[in-house]
Structure 1
Amino acid sequence: MYVAMSSPLSSIVLVPGAWHTPDCFDQFRSVLSELNLSSSAVANPSVGDATVSKTLTDDVDNLRSVITQLIEQEDKFITVLAHSYGGMVASGAVKDLGYAERKRIGKRGGVVMVVYLAACAIPEGMTVVQSCGGSPAPWWEYKGNQIFANDRNISNPAHTLYNDLPPTMQEQAISKLQPINAACFDMPNSYEPWRDMPCTYIFAERDNCVPLPGQHYFVGLMGDGVATASLSTSHSPFLSQPRELAALVQRAVHEGLKKAGAFD
């Protein structure tokens, strides 16, 4: 069966990082649409939750529900694109949903590729804080049980998250940032997808949030089977270089479908 790039059988699920809501991907999704790539963006329940009741577990369960519905009800070939903290969410959510795993037990559809974008791709049992050396990053703004990232003097998001955007776009992006439950950064990753399914890591070379050496550290922990690509961008290439990022994601989608045998 041949599955064209524009086929409704192929879909990309976008997972935002900490502090970000799904609309951060709006411009990027428009570019994906121009390439005939279907996409959806999820919201992490832990982000913007004033009750501080939602954690990484809720984020994982929510994403897993979205992916499972696409697979079980529509037989989709899924590529997951996870940004920053979203890497933790995606890792836990795709367990047992890989295309090859499902095919072995006679099931259709599944995850054919996980793309980590300047993301936390960390071993099972490790937390975000531990991946930062065991201490919170100095620019995280703790307020009660939440962490913010919009103070110009503490977190300086224009520099930390959007250093390659023009000022007007920086201000627009900063205005949308929401706090995340601090507990999320102290909860361990529950699964390592790279052990069972194709994965790609996209480096953001000018990243001030997850500096490039940290990204290389993550990839080193993932092992030799992970494909890599690179962009000369800040932490948020979906805003600053959406077309260049879309080209890399298109390639990853194609590779995932190829490995799944979708072109046979």
Structure 2
Amino acid sequence: MRTNVLIPGGGAGPGYWSRLVPLLDGEVIALDLPTADPSAGVAEYADLAVEAVGDREDVVVVAHSLGGLTAPLVAARVPARAIVLITAMVPRPGETGGEWWEATGHNALGVDSSDEKAVFYNGVDPEGIAIGDAASRDQSFTPFNTPGQPWPDVPVRFLFCTEDRFFPIDFMRRVVADRLPGAVTGEIPAGHMPMLSHPKEVASFINQA
């Protein structure tokens, strides 16, 4: 049986996947990462993911947003059949998450994320926003300090969200074409939190891995 390991984005607990989990094929492990702990970074997140997988042998590594920094480390250490990235960061080998913003040109976009509801939750209904709020937590900067590792020889699927205000669609298409040219891509008319606004569509994309 396949196992889906869900790596959350920044400052998110496992609860924000709650609408998606029942729709996924196979077993689901929604990771609960120590996001607020300044002593825990990408390596520690990956260790926790690998420990959670244990001896399971058919693994789909799913990562959202900041989780893209952790995904290649996990997929290199478990029997991964695929990596599925949901509007996620795509680091180059040797590039830290902190360097990613300038290197990709995101800083030049001038995205103002001060209004979190408008930027991150566009298209999400009030109940979904409440789910996201309940799952939110502090996020340390530590994961942004680790140099990226080479992407393992594992098939990658990337889900674009065409209404994403934080990672705008034209920006993300350019990043993925440049950094993951072999990825299978799909897109849905969602913002940055598609697991809350479009769980059926997200599940369908993951289930095809």
- Global fold match (TM > 0.5): yes
Higher relative contact order (CA closer than 8 Å, sequence separation 6+): 2
**Correspondence 1:31 to 2:12:** no
Asked if the contact 2:161–2:191 (Cα under 8 Å) also holds between the matched residues in 1, the reply is yes
What letter is aligned with 1:155? Answer: S
**How far apart in 1 are the matches of 2:7 and 2:55?**
15
Partner Cα separation in structure 2 for residue 63 and residue 224 of structure 1: 26
- 1:166 equivalenced with 2:155 (yes/no): no
Distance in 2, Cα, partners of 1:66 & 1:88: 18
Contact 1:63 1:90 in 2 (8 A): no
- Indicate the residue corresponding to 1:19 in structure 2: 11
Deviations 1:7-41 (A, max 9, x none): xx211111111010011111110122xxx432111
In the TM superposition, 1:120-139 aligns within 5 A as 120-133=89-102
Contact 2:15 2:132 in 1 (8 A): no
Q: Give the aligned residue type for 1:48.
A: A
The answer to whether the 8 Å contact 2:84/2:157 transfers is yes
Match of 2:176 in 1: 219
| TM-score, normalised by the number of residues in structure 1 | 0.71
Shift of 1:58: 1.0
Aligned residues: 206
Offset of 1:160 from its aligned partner? 1.7
Counterparts of residues 178-189 of structure 1 (less than 5 Å): 178-189=137-148
Counterpart among 41, 46, 51 of residue 55 in structure 1: 41
Verify the 8 A CA contact 2:36 2:137 in the aligned structure 1.
Answer: yes
CA distance in 1 between counterparts of 2:73 and 2:175 reads 16
Q: Cα offset for 1:128?
A: 2.1
Q: Which residues of structure 1 form unaligned runs of 5+?
A: 1-8, 98-109, 141-153, 253-264
- Gap change, CA 1:86 and 1:223, over 3 Å in 2: closer
Residue 237 of structure 1, CA deviation: 0.7
Unaligned segments of structure 2, at least 5 residues:
none
| Aligned amino acid, residue 207 of structure 1 | D
Range with greater deviation from structure 2 (58-67 or 234-243): 58-67
1:65 positional shift? 2.1
Q: Secondary structure at the match of 1:19?
A: coil
Larger radius of gyration: 1
Match of 2:84 among 109, 115, 118: 115
**Stretch of structure 1 that moved more, 203-212 or 130-139:** 130-139
Secondary structure at 2:208 match in 1: helix
Q: Percent identity?
A: 22
SS in 1 for 2:19: helix
| Counterpart selection for 2:72 from 84, 91, 105 | 91
Contact 1:10–1:38 under 8 Å retained in 2? yes
For 2:23 and 2:180, locate their aligned partners in 1 and report how far apart those are by CA, in whole Å.
31
- Tell me the residue number matched to 1:204: 161
1:235 and 2:179 matched? no
Q: Secondary structure at the match of 1:85?
A: helix
Deviation at 1:171, TM superposition (A): 4.0
For residues 133 and 183 of structure 2, the distance between their equivalents in structure 1, rounded to whole angstroms, comes to 32
Superposed CA offset, 1:107-148 (max 9, x none)? xxx1100001101122111122222116996779xxxxxxxx
TM-score, length basis structure 2: 0.88
